[in-house]
Chain A
């Protein structure tokens, strides 16, 4: 049967099922096929905190959303055009996000009375008219998979488990995806069990063929490749990019990277990833707690490594005292906070930006540190390098504020040329720096960077003691002198304040915008998409995005003051807005949301339109 082929410029698909249904893997494979085709992509996984919530229940639903287009896109999409629902729970949990007219592919085999009852459906939504506004494709996914694998050498259970590959095959057919990479992937994944390779490939092909033959799917879609910069790409999540950025920082500085970490969602994947890169001299230590993790990282920095610790908000709280010690010791240290919804355990698999206050201010005494935030998954690579650069050059702790949204989301990444990455080499102190030529002054600063010498143990002639007690300027000896303390506190503040950071860039293509939207971190995508939407409708709006939150770009005050209105959307209750108002006396207005989810472009667009009307 020849089918009609329809061209689309963009599609958002959400794969949803029980945590045990393999939806993350399915989404991941679909993404990879899509990448091979050259579409621009953005993805967003959403999974429960429980490892195995009771099967078939709403808390057990896991989903993966992928947005792909023939142009460059900024977000994983507000609303899916297609929902794949592997069971009633998946349907119920995701239906509210679907616009009318969306396609829903349901696994009818799971719509049993028992499963329906588990999520409170009195009658099957497939049988009443509750899905009337949607295009429903009922597919007996499970039984068709089992049927297709009848002559395979696998148990019924293994056959049933391959149903996600059936679904992937069907979707791959629907959207004309090249699937060679998926077949290769299955061969790798099940290398030890050839019968599973065969079964999963058979399930995939059965799904593909089903699409081709069934009358229910009359149309097949194509999304043409996006116009992207020439070069080699890979699809990457924020946590992966951040890990690779840290490895790259080790290579570009010539220093061993030492990671001290204690497992915590959503940061653990960085520990997992870095523990694979011992070939680069990366040492990872799973410490007994977050305090030990940062302590060990600081100890390693003292010894001449690039000390790094990775965690989420609750862990940063525990590390606070040690970060202050690092401020006093003036040693390099990178602290990665992959933010999640708090306070306390909060919603550990959901996103939020509410640790900004803690990063900027959450220490005892006057303990300033540098703070930076990546704006997208692939930007985590460059943010990690930038954090390392500041830490190494200025001998200071740097807090890198990622969040669950960028950490687990993915997008295509144009692979950088290694030689073009920043040169992070540092010089350790090797000789006395006192005027007499024999004494070593551990707190004699470089006049330009205000950094003190990094004299690592093992260097003859430079033996010295450092510590948390206040130090006399230059000599580093213990000092209780009032004037010295005042001087040292101000110097530590100036050290951070004077770090040169790039000016903030304003995107205002029409050049006549009166409203500026200022964001930081992971809101870049939704804000950018909202601004685009407004501009397409002939409205002018300017966008500026902060990567450096401490110190802030030198031109920021001027930029802020040149607009009639400044709007700051944040996934917190106004933490950046508060700082901006205090620091620049600008009457910025906040737009705040803490639902554990990223902003949708649509909600920002609506909000901004209101603002535009009122200036």
Chain B
């Protein structure tokens, strides 16, 4: 294969002519800018890139990308994108969704896309609220959250999106934050390189209905002590001075945070996103507390498994390889198969 020609695209090439209409200050702007700046790096022609979304503030995203795009219906983007991706494996298909879109109305499609390992890059903008419908609680809102639809506090327990994705057999699972462009782009890069479904949760601030939801992870005073930046092959330590670390206590089921100073170096878990057993990534996904302390970001899991698209296309290719006739003659043979009789 010859070297691909450098397309020399820039962020500007990915901006559509549509006026961006999110609320001023919305985290979605930062994500859009990060994505537009990142896309040229993939060196994929714009016409071969498709963004498909559901409904929600986040789902307006495709209108602003100068690629092919579809703003579909609430929760169904993974299903629609599956049909496109399977039938057009030459395309790079991205799904943009929100916490309500992906985890409430569209929960079924999300888990099935992940289990099938459809070649989709799924970006879930998690603002832990319904933005577009003006501020009801979502399936990622904290218990007790006061919103328009829960004046005395929500009664239902939230999903942990990464735990859910892992339970759904996701082969690639990552988390990042709207405000950290460099990190966001590093996660996009890993996602884009993954064959199969890549599930990326992006913490996104809705400054109108759930402002400051992720402040502890952003404020200089707290962020270093709260955030665990996962890096493949590196021992998991964090904190301003690396004072915390993650261990797998013998006899325990999951991972726990310890003081680095009191922990023998060999007990500190070395991050390996390629561990086949999803229990490891799952344990990582369970580290954060209600106050967002111990929140890992980065790639939790990245394991190989043939994509659904590939398997389906291979079945078709295998069947087609046996064909020697023109489609018309093949059809005539098919129509005339089975017990036939002729009347003269």
Contact = CB atoms under 8 A, between A and B. Distances in A.
A298 B80 contact: yes
Contact of B82 (A285, A415, A457, A469): A285
B193 interface: no
Contacts of B343: 38, 225, 228-233
A296 interface: yes
Q: Is the interface of A mostly helix, strand, loop or mixed?
A: mixed
A463 interface: yes
B87 A305 contact: yes
A416 B335 CA distance: 8
Contacts, number: 204
B186 to A, nearest CB: 26
Nearest to B18: A477
Interface in B312-344: 312, 315-316, 318-320, 322-323, 327-332, 334-344
Contact of B88 (A281, A282, A303): A303
Contact of A292 (B47, B82, B338, B340): B82
B70 interface: yes
B79 A457 contact: no
A279 interface: yes
A416 B334 CA distance: 12
Given A233-B340, A466-B71, A458 B91 contact: yes
B255 interface: no
B344 A300 contact: no
B70 A466 contact: yes
A258 B79 CA distance: 13
A248 B333 CA distance: 12
Find the residue from A225, A304, A457 having the highest chain B CB count within 10 A.
A457
Contacts of A322: 73, 76
B331 A251 contact: yes
B73 A468 contact: yes
B326 to A, nearest CB: 9
Contact of B70 (A32, A307, A321, A465): A465
B241 interface: no
B341 A467 contact: no
B71 to A, nearest CB: 3
B84 A234 contact: no
Contact of A296 (B80, B88, B316, B331): B80
B86 A458 contact: no
A244 B337 CA distance: 11
A94 interface: no
Given A181-B339, A457-B48, A278 B316 contact: yes
Contact of B328 (A287, A289, A415, A419): A419
A299 B79 contact: yes
Contacts of A235: 339
Report the interface size class on chain B: 35 or more
B86 A283 contact: yes
Interface residues of A, number: 72
B324 to A, nearest CB: 11
Given A247-B334, A288-B108, A478-B18, A297 B328 contact: no
B212 interface: no
A458 B90 contact: yes
Nearest to B65: A465
Interface string A478-492: 100000000000000
A281 B323 CA distance: 11
B52 A469 contact: no
A304 B322 contact: no
A573 B76 CA distance: 34
Given A279-B320, A281-B316, A303 B83 contact: yes
A571 interface: no
A251 to B, nearest CB: 5
A615 interface: no
A277 interface: yes
Contacts of B342: 231-233
A415 B340 contact: yes
B46 A463 contact: yes
B154 interface: no
Contact of A289 (B66, B108, B332, B340): B108
Contact of B79 (A230, A234, A296): A296
B195 to A, nearest CB: 19
Given A251-B330, A467-B62, A478-B63, 13 more contacts: A35-B341, A232-B342, A248-B331, A285-B312, A293-B79, A295-B82, A300-B86, A321-B76, A418-B328, A457-B68, A457-B88, A463-B46, A468-B55
29 contacts: A35-B339, A230-B344, A232-B336, A234-B341, A247-B331, A248-B335, A256-B87, A278-B315, A278-B319, A279-B322, A279-B330, A287-B112, A292-B79, A300-B84, A301-B83, A303-B83, A321-B76, A415-B335, A418-B335, A457-B48, A457-B50, A457-B91, A458-B47, A461-B47, A464-B68, A466-B71, A467-B70, A468-B55, A477-B18
Interface of A: 32, 35-36, 38, 181, 225, 228-235, 244, 247-248, 251, 254, 256, 258, 260, 277-283, 285, 287-289, 291-293, 295-305, 307, 321-322, 325, 329, 415-416, 418-419, 456-469, 477-478
